[in-house]
């Protein structure tokens, strides 16, 4: 089982205080305005919530992966899926690539400020014509000697409207030949257009991004040219594992709300919690929730033990928790009756926000594609 | 099977034209503003869409129940769940009670204008402390000779903010002793407060209603005093059957969108519709959808044959289609990938709007309570 | 809805009497011995239960398809899945092919005695190397002038050990070129070996069949040479529709048993039927069962209306009822507790027997293949 | 995660050899004869497979609980559910009660020979009128000074026909006042009648047991008089946890068979394993299987850490794995097509045998009752 040490506990405590003070009181307002509370990045950077699991050399705290798990768990439990997604798309998508393969200059210029919350970052893979099929991307970087000329467009890019730089997955050859380029959002030829009306993740920022002859100096290539696809695949395990953490802890939130609700809600001369059907509903939800924790922890321990080689169990955990969390939250809504349909009760938001997890970071169908390769081929 | 005649086809055609011209072009805007397009009542009244299934004596067209089915099917297929709900909560909740039990004066004063769309009506049952448990209501009508003094509050009342009158289910004695009172919204002591942030039904109007010593003349009692509960139970079959129609036809909409999407969407060198897993997903959705139609039609024919005695099959159809429609629409979102998470694609709205059907007009659990009585006791 | 006439009712009544007298008292013994009560064919033939839906010219009663539905429904409800399967594999697999395409001589020699129960017949399609993939069969008929020389083997052939003749689907060319040959079981070169240990259908007879240079005279070709595949596809709708009837009525049996059981079974100071969770279990089963009836009737009416063109709804009904019946019966076992695990209670047998319906006559996956073609291509 | 040491590995290896040599070659024959291979107890006792997790003082090997887990896992994977159940009902039901609360004399007389496989034991709780409702038992022990006079009957008692003694749960007062009595099967007044026709567990022995004025000396009371119910509840955690192991490892067997089958089975010009729908079916089964392992291990580690206090997670693991294993095995049958319906392929037996796990040792509904108390009250 997971073993938390004192430093983990301290991290959790300080984050909980932060959430209680800075997030929870304003959450409903941000949700209503469908606005990403961008200013939180700075505060979270200062308090070490972005850098917890990054090395001290780049401004992090050098904690182990449990630190990342804790931060994602606590934010998810706060039921602010959108901002949690923005934080996640910053901290765990582009930054680990920079950390793993970036040059010292790149780290100084981009990673360090991003860890401090002074810069906000995105990872731009998806295109209007290529989502699951990453090899289908067509955003092209033409080699022009000391720089690339970048053309194309990206879609669904979290943090791009509010961000400072993005790591752009760029075709630089046929097939798997892709290169990761650091592109600053204010550069000439870069433009963003917000995707406003989303089903959930209302407090995240999502953009369509256009590159029109953008000049990207070669010092902004991460790692080697044409190797981007492989860097991406390596990093994606961490991303999927943390999505499993998100799904599980949002479900935990909804579950806890449901238990509280049925204990209090009067009906038929008693409370809902005395009705056997409601009791079994809760018991089944609790069992499913436990299975989400069991899968996530199993994947987590495997990842901490053997790293990205834990691919299969992480993939399983990702698809399993994404689907199961929805079932739990759906029943949490049901237990609330009409109030489950009112946004101020929180479970509706949890449901909308969690729906993304079967689509993003590799859809459920893509997860099964991967698992079937492990199992059959 | 259902047999539509020419008048049915004419009704359907004219409604489709109306939807295409008046609703579809404005729908996204109304949704974004979370506003009920109140003015549509007038137009729909004029065109006979409210009165189709009401007798000619009260201004209706005297068509059979298939007319109601057609209107609900077409509106639902237009994927404007909120307004469809408002129309439904007006046309099929309070009006049939007035039609069945109202005096000639009541019909002239309230029913006729409501059928013409000149008045908007609500049915107010649910209270903050009593939803599924209708017998738990405490809004009280004190008998004061020629009038009642009404005190209490109602919650989740569709159309109450925008409406003109409501049929208020009022306790006038112990146990089942309830009375249906027609209350005009502008009367002294009546106040409404909007419930703004709902998970779905954004283009419907929902209110909390307060009664503070409201004077209701006895000529505004529908039917007999203390018999309200029974009138309600009688009418509710029609209401549940039409919710089954709503669920089925919203699912049909989402299904059709999904088929179109996967046929067009390019991926992995072809279209999504060539992937076997996607094909079977569609096939399974189609099968589930067919089962929704089969159940709804079965309930419909039984209702047209034997009326409210068809309670059990209607109850089954209601719970079955509400739950199954959600599974279909959920997969329709999945088939859209990231675009399923974008509100402009329609399936997300269908999903949010349809979620209500397992809660409203008797939750799924209440349906099973009823069915179990038929089957076991 | 289905309209039964007096002759239907008479058929049902006489069959019920037959079941009560001839089948039910011996059923458990036949099951225990895993033996097909072959002698029943003769009796059922005499009483007109085989010929009900065949024309009078060939010895049938000339009733409509509802007669077939009634016979399958009643036998299925008697919960003797194996023999019901044998009866079905005789009456609805080979005989309709003979009836539709057979010559007068063939009808006299084979169909008429089969309808009278004097001969028992099989349809032999499946081979060890080709099940779902019918085009993959390799049993070959070499044209030798006035006869074919038949070589190959078939598997899972119902009634072949106990039978008199079979209609053998034989490759007589490439691709779809197959021919239907009537082969008598006692002919030289034909041998059968029983498949004894089946999960269910214990009172059916199942065989592996080998053809070793079997001489089949050309007068035993049904219809035209090389057209067999198409005759087969045409007939298969009836077969699938009746499997839907079997699934639904076996589920009805198990459901009725469960209701009786929970009403009687004492527990916790009352009966199981007073426990809310058990009540909702029953209510959910009843709802699912209703949906099976709704789907089957829908397919039935479509078939009676437009014949094999009703393919899609029949395919949907087949896959839907096969899967849903299993869920119902599974819960019927659960409601019986430990007694559900004892074969004498009947629900265990219903469960084992019904498991076949997602595999036989086209597996669920093959059904979805077919539906997806209708929906997408 | 579980940490196996060398002694665990040795145990596993020797058990695997035993299974391969003594069980697998004869399994099908025993299954066909529906006979419990009683002689295996002696051999397993000698080889230390019964005593692995019992203390050396009573003839065991003094290994930790992982030894029990290993034995149950390996036997379950051998897919001989019936005998595995007999072994389990001997080793983990009555013996731990004797071990925990028995006197030295009782241990010498009963426990030691049972561990050596010289005596076969049962635990007799269930009665015709009381299963889930343990407090409803009526088998009564009348205090007659130095002995009890035992009257009543038990049902579904594993090993009673073939066994030597049983621990009988006996009412000796009102409410929870029950006493555990050791009763020898050959004593006067004890009679057994086999329950032959079970859905599964064919190689287990199951009996109805009758007590007719059986004289049970007080030295055969386990622990204190009237405390039996509590001893039972304490021991039942181990029993449920090991049922979770059984469910998981039988599912693992069926899963492995399915993967082998689809890799080999030719269809449509390739193998089943190349069909995307089949691949995702396998991937989903693998994911569910992983979740069974994750839940079982989680419960196992908690049990090894805190003992019977791990009740809730064990209860969750029991219900979860029992239900999920059935889904996996059901799909394993489906993947086998017609061969899944033939008993020699093994998956059918796995399915029949596993069906018990939602009923025995506390049904799924009873599990939810327990969980709901933890979660709500
Ligand atoms: C709110 C939000 C935030 C996002 N943030 C980012 C971000 O920061 N950066 C970024 O790069 N992207 C981001 N994405 C994009 C996301 O990663 C993609 O939406 C996702 O990968 C799916 O791709 P798609 O939308 O193109 O769907 P498609 O690939 O078109 O898939 C549509 C459907 O087809 C199915 N499908 C696809 N292939 C197969 C197959 N082989 N077999 C069976 N079924 C298949 C899918 O499972 C899905 O059900 C975000 C998306 C959303 C909605
Ligand atoms: C958008 C919207 C519009 C509405 N419009 C109207 C309207 O116009 N007029 C009106 O009068 N009302 C309206 N309602 C209210 C609606 O009818 C109620 O929400 C519904 O009846 C459920 O009642 P409740 O919310 O009090 O839930 P509760 O009754 O508190 O139920 C909470 C949960 O407990 C379950 N439960 C309740 N009783 C049992 C039981 N005996 N056994 C097992 N489980 C049980 C329920 O199924 C549910 O899951 C509307 C609601 C919404 C959300
Ligand atoms: C008791 C019994 C009685 C029978 N009686 C007869 C009879 O009288 N006459 C007769 O001719 N046959 C009979 N059959 C055979 C039956 O029709 C076949 O078993 C059935 O068609 C499946 O074929 P298969 O067993 O070869 O399975 P396979 O075709 O090998 O299928 C194995 C699995 O692969 C799946 N699969 C196959 N193709 C695809 C695909 N394209 N995409 C996705 N998944 C796929 C299947 O759905 C199944 O899950 C009987 C079978 C049984 C068990
Ligand atoms: C093969 C086999 C071996 C067995 N071996 C043994 C053995 O060695 N020793 C022994 O003592 N027993 C044994 N049993 C008995 C087994 O433990 C019981 O069958 C089991 O506890 C269920 O009890 P029951 O059969 O009386 O079912 P019931 O208690 O009658 O239950 C019937 C149904 O009602 C449900 N139900 C019960 N109570 C509730 C509730 N409060 N709320 C909701 N639903 C409820 C149950 O979940 C079940 O679905 C064995 C049984 C079998 C089949």
Q: Do residues D239 and D369 share a domain?
A: yes
Closest to A213 in 3D by CA, of A156, A148, A145? A148
Indicate whether C1 belongs to any domain: no
Q: Which residues of C touch A275 (CB under 8 A)?
A: 276
Q: Do residues A110 and A126 share a domain?
A: no
Ligand nearest to the CA of A271: 2
**Mean pLDDT taken over chain B:** 97
Report whether C117 contacts C95 (CB < 8 A).
Answer: no
B346–chain A Cβ distance below 8 A for any pair = no
C267–chain D Cβ distance below 8 A for any pair = yes
Q: How far is CA D153 from CA C95, D138, D171, D187, D214, in A?
A: 54, 8, 12, 15, 11
Q: Could you give the CA distance from residue A350 to residue A334 in angstroms, rounded to a whole number?
A: 13
D358–chain C Cβ distance below 8 A for any pair = yes
Main-chain phi, psi angles of D137, to 5 degrees: -65, 150
Q: Is the pLDDT of residue B1 over 80?
A: no
Element (H, E) at D8: helix D6-18
Which of C293, C297, C371 is nearest residue B286 as measured by Cβ atoms? Answer: C371
Report whether B139 contacts B151 (CB < 8 A).
Answer: yes
Q: Mapping DSSP to helix (H, G, I), strand (E, B) and coil, where does residue B200 land?
A: coil
Residue D358 alpha carbon to ligand 4 centre in Å: 9
Which residues are C216's β-sheet partners? C148
Q: Could you give the CA distance from residue B348 to residue B330 in angstroms, rounded to a whole number?
A: 8
Q: Which residues of D touch C131 (CB under 8 A)?
A: 267, 337-338
DSSP for A260-315? HHHHH-EETTEEGGGSHHHHHHHHHHHHHHHHHHHHHHHHHHHHHHHGGGGHHHHH
Q: What is the pLDDT of residue C16?
A: 98
Report whether C41 contacts C85 (CB < 8 A).
Answer: no
Residue A142 alpha carbon to ligand 2 centre in Å: 60
Indicate whether D259 belongs to any domain: yes
Smallest Cα distance from B233 to chain C, Å = 20
Q: Which residue has the tokens 């209302």?
A: A202
Residue of B nearest to C374 (CA): B283
Q: Could you give the CA distance from residue B112 to residue B250 in angstroms, rounded to a whole number?
A: 30
Percent of chain D with pLDDT over 90: 98
Q: What is the pLDDT of residue A308?
A: 87
Indicate whether D201 belongs to any domain: yes
Ligand nearest to the CA of D261: 3
Which residues are C193's β-sheet partners? C208
Q: Do B136 and A267 touch (CB under 8 A)?
A: yes
Percent of chain D with pLDDT over 70: 100
| Contacting partners of chain A (3+ CB pairs under 8 A) | B, C, D
Q: Which residues of D touch C348 (CB under 8 A)?
A: 199
Kindly report the protein residue whose alpha carbon is nearest to atom 29 of ligand 4. D132
Q: Is the pLDDT of residue B353 over 80?
A: yes
Q: What is the pLDDT of residue D1?
A: 72
Q: Do residues D236 and D335 share a domain?
A: yes
Report whether A328 contacts A290 (CB < 8 A).
Answer: no
Q: Do D277 and B275 touch (CB under 8 A)?
A: no
Main-chain phi, psi angles of D288, to 5 degrees: -65, -40
Ligand 2: residue of B126, B157, B236 to mutate (most ligand atoms within 8 A of CB) is B126
Q: How many residues does chain C have?
A: 377
Tens-digit pLDDT profile for residues D180-228: 999 999 999 999 999 989 999 999 999 999 999 999 999 999 999 999 9
Which of B203, B228, B253 is where one domain is finished? B228
Kindly report the protein residue whose alpha carbon is nearest to atom 36 of ligand 4. D365
User: What are the structure tokens assigned to B174, written together?
Assistant: 């112990």
Which residues are D182's β-sheet partners? D167
Q: Do C294 and B290 touch (CB under 8 A)?
A: no
Tens-digit pLDDT profile for residues B162-219: 999 999 999 999 999 999 999 999 999 999 999 989 999 999 999 999 999 999 999 9
Q: Do residues C79 and C151 share a domain?
A: no
Indicate whether A67 belongs to any domain: yes
Residue C359 alpha carbon to ligand 3 centre in Å: 5
Q: State the CATH number of the domain containing residue C131.
A: 2.40.110.10
Q: Which residue has the tokens 């087949």?
A: C318
Q: Which residues of C touch D126 (CB under 8 A)?
A: 338
Determine if ligand 1 sits within 6 Å of the CB of residue B270: no
Q: Do residues B40 and B87 share a domain?
A: yes
Q: What is the pLDDT of residue C2?
A: 87
Tens-digit pLDDT profile for residues B16-51: 999 999 999 999 999 999 999 999 999 999 999 999
Q: Do residues A372 and A236 share a domain?
A: yes
The domain in which residue A39 lies consists of 6-116
Q: Do C133 and D337 touch (CB under 8 A)?
A: no
Q: What is the 3-state secondary structure (H, E, C) of D39-77?
A: HHHHHHHHCCCCCCCCCHHHCCCCCCHHHHHHHHHHHHH
Q: Do residues B135 and B218 share a domain?
A: yes
Q: State the CATH number of the domain containing residue B370.
A: 1.20.140.10
Gyration radius of chain C's alpha carbons = 21
Q: Do C277 and A275 touch (CB under 8 A)?
A: no
Q: Do D291 and A291 touch (CB under 8 A)?
A: yes
Determine if ligand 2 sits within 6 Å of the CB of residue B242: no
The minimum-distance atom of ligand 2 relative to the CA of B195 is 1
Determine if ligand 4 sits within 6 Å of the CB of residue C342: no
Which of A273, A287, A298 is nearest residue D316 as measured by Cβ atoms? Answer: A287
**Mean pLDDT taken over chain D:** 97
Which residues are C124's β-sheet partners? C168
Q: Do residues D298 and D180 share a domain?
A: no
Q: Is C239 a catalytic residue?
A: yes
Indicate whether B251 belongs to any domain: yes
Q: What is the pLDDT of residue D73?
A: 98
With a cut of 50, list the residues of chain C below it in pLDDT. Answer: none
Question: Which position among B74, B127, B239, B257 bears the catalytic label?
Answer: B239
Which residues are C149's β-sheet partners? C142, C215
CB pairs under 8 A between B and C: 100
Q: What is the DSSP letter of D115?
A: H
Q: Could you give the CA distance from residue B372 to residue B316 in angstroms, rounded to a whole number?
A: 11
Q: Is the pLDDT of residue D62 over 80?
A: yes
Which of A133, A195, A199 is nearest residue B267 as measured by Cβ atoms? Answer: A133
Measured from the Cβ of residue D9, the count of other Cβ atoms closer than 10 Å reads 11
Q: Could you give the CA distance from residue C329 to residue C253 in angstroms, rounded to a whole number?
A: 9
User: What are the structure tokens assigned to B233, written together?
Assistant: 């139970």
Closest to A165 in 3D by CA, of A179, A146, A149, A182? A182
D341–chain C Cβ distance below 8 A for any pair = yes
Q: Could you give the CA distance from residue B131 to residue C350 in angstroms, rounded to a whole number?
A: 41
Q: What is the pLDDT of residue A264?
A: 97
Q: Do residues C161 and C197 share a domain?
A: yes
Q: Do residues A255 and A365 share a domain?
A: yes
* Pairing state between β C140-143 and C147-158: antiparallel
Q: What is the pLDDT of residue B215?
A: 98
Tell whether ipTM is more than 0.90: yes
The two counts, helices (H) then strands (E), for chain B are: 13, 10
Tens-digit pLDDT profile for residues C113-157: 999 999 999 999 999 999 999 999 999 999 999 999 999 999 999
Indicate whether B1 belongs to any domain: no
H-type alpha helices, chain A: 6-18, 24-33, 40-46, 65-77, 81-91, 94-101, 104-106, 112-116, 228-264, 276-306, 311-336, 347-354, 364-376
Kindly report the protein residue whose alpha carbon is nearest to atom 23 of ligand 2. B131
Q: Mapping DSSP to helix (H, G, I), strand (E, B) and coil, where does residue C50 land?
A: coil
DSSP for D280-347? HHHHHHHHHHHHHHHHHHHHHHHHHHHGGGGHHHHHHHHHHHHHHHHHHHHHHHHHTGGGGGBGGGSH
Number of domains in chain C: 3
Q: What is the pLDDT of residue A124?
A: 98
- Mark which residues 269-288 of B lie under 8 Å from D by CB: 275-277, 280
Residue C131 alpha carbon to ligand 3 centre in Å: 5
Q: Do B337 and A131 touch (CB under 8 A)?
A: yes
Q: Do residues B97 and B175 share a domain?
A: no
Gyration radius of chain D's alpha carbons = 21
Q: Do B369 and C283 touch (CB under 8 A)?
A: yes
D1–chain B Cβ distance below 8 A for any pair = no
Residue C90 alpha carbon to ligand 1 centre in Å: 51
Determine if ligand 1 sits within 6 Å of the CB of residue A243: no
The minimum-distance atom of ligand 4 relative to the CA of C342 is 53
Indicate whether C203 belongs to any domain: yes
Which of C282, C284, C370 is nearest residue B376 as measured by Cβ atoms? Answer: C282
Which of A131, A200, A351 is nearest residue B338 as measured by Cβ atoms? Answer: A131
Q: Mapping DSSP to helix (H, G, I), strand (E, B) and coil, where does residue B229 land?
A: helix
Active site residues of D: 239
Residue D271 alpha carbon to ligand 1 centre in Å: 29
Q: What is the pLDDT of residue B2?
A: 87
Q: Do residues A246 and A364 share a domain?
A: yes
Q: Which residue has the tokens 């399983």?
A: A316
The span from the first CA to the last CA of chain B, in angstroms, equals: 31
Q: What is the pLDDT of residue C34?
A: 95
Measured from the Cβ of residue D144, the count of other Cβ atoms closer than 10 Å reads 11
Closest to A295 in 3D by CA, of A306, A305, A283, A303? A303
Q: What is the pLDDT of residue A1?
A: 73
Q: How far is CA B62 from CA A161, B7, B70, C183, in A?
A: 57, 11, 14, 64
Report whether D138 contacts D130 (CB < 8 A).
Answer: yes
Which of D201, D228, D255 is where one domain is finished? D228
Smallest Cα distance from B4 to chain A, Å = 36
Determine if ligand 2 sits within 6 Å of the CB of residue A269: no
Percent of chain B with pLDDT over 70: 100
Determine if ligand 1 sits within 6 Å of the CB of residue A136: no
Element (H, E) at C263: helix C228-264
B85–chain A Cβ distance below 8 A for any pair = no
Closest to C171 in 3D by CA, of C207, C113, C130? C130
Which of C163, C198, C226 is where one domain is finished? C226
Q: What is the DSSP letter of B341?
A: G
Q: State the CATH number of the domain containing residue C95.
A: 1.10.540.10
Q: Could you give the CA distance from residue C38 to residue C36 in angstroms, rounded to a whole number?
A: 5
For the segment A339-364, the average pLDDT, to the nearest whole number, is: 98
Determine if ligand 4 sits within 6 Å of the CB of residue C267: yes
Closest to B295 in 3D by CA, of B349, B252, B241, B258? B241
Q: Could you give the CA distance from residue A41 to residue D341 in angstroms, rounded to a whole number?
A: 59
Q: What is the pLDDT of residue A171?
A: 98
| Contacting partners of chain C (3+ CB pairs under 8 A) | A, B, D
Q: Could you give the CA distance from residue D291 to residue A298 in angstroms, rounded to a whole number?
A: 9
Indicate whether A1 belongs to any domain: no
Q: Could you give the CA distance from residue D221 to residue D240 in angstroms, rounded to a whole number?
A: 24
Q: Which residues of C touch B322 (CB under 8 A)?
A: none
CB pairs under 8 A between A and B: 106
Q: How far is CA C146 from CA C142, C220, C221, in A?
A: 11, 10, 11
């Amino acid at each position: 089982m997971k073993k938390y040490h004192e430093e983990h506990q301290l991290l959790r405590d300080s984050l909980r205080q932060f959430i209680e003070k800075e997030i929870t009181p304003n959450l409903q307002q941000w949700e209503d305005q469908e606005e990403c509370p961008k200013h939180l990045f700075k505060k979270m950077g200062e308090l070490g919530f972005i850098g917890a699991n990054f090395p001290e050399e780049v401004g992090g705290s050098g904690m182990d992966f449990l630190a990342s798990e804790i931060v994602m768990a606590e934010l998810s439990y706060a039921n602010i899926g959108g901002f949690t997604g923005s934080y996640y798309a910053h901290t765990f998508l582009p930054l680990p690539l920079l950390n793993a393969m970036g040059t010292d200059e790149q780290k100084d210029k981009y990673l360090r400020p991003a860890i401090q919350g002074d810069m906000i970052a995105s990872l731009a893979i998806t295109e209007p014509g290529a989502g699951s099929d990453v090899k289908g991307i067509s955003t092209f970087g033409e080699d022009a000697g000391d720089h690339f000329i970048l053309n194309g467009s990206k879609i669904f890019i979290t943090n791009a409207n509010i961000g400072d730089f993005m790591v752009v997955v760029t075709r630089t050859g046929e097939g798997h030949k892709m290169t990761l380029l650091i592109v600053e959002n204010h550069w000439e030829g870069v433009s963003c257009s917000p995707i406003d009306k989303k089903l959930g993740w209302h407090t995240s920022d999502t953009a369509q991004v256009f590159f029109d002859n953008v000049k990207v100096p070669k010092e902004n290539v991460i790692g080697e040219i044409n190797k981007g696809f492989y860097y991406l695949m390596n990093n994606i395990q961490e991303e999927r594992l943390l999505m499993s953490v998100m799904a599980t802890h949002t479900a935990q939130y909804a579950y806890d709300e449901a238990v509280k609700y049925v204990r209090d809600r009067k009906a038929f001369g008693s409370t809902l919690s005395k009705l056997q059907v409601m009791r079994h509903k809760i018991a089944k939800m609790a069992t499913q929730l436990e299975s989400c924790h069991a899968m996530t922890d199993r994947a987590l321990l495997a990842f901490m033990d053997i790293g990205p080689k834990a691919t299969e169990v992480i993939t399983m955990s990702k698809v399993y928790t994404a689907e199961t969390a929805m079932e739990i939250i759906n029943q949490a809504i049901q237990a609330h009756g009409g109030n489950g349909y009112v946004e101020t009760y929180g479970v509706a938001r949890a449901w909308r926000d969690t729906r993304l997890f079967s689509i993003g970071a590799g859809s459920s169908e893509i997860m099964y594609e991967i698992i079937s390769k492990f199992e059959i081929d």
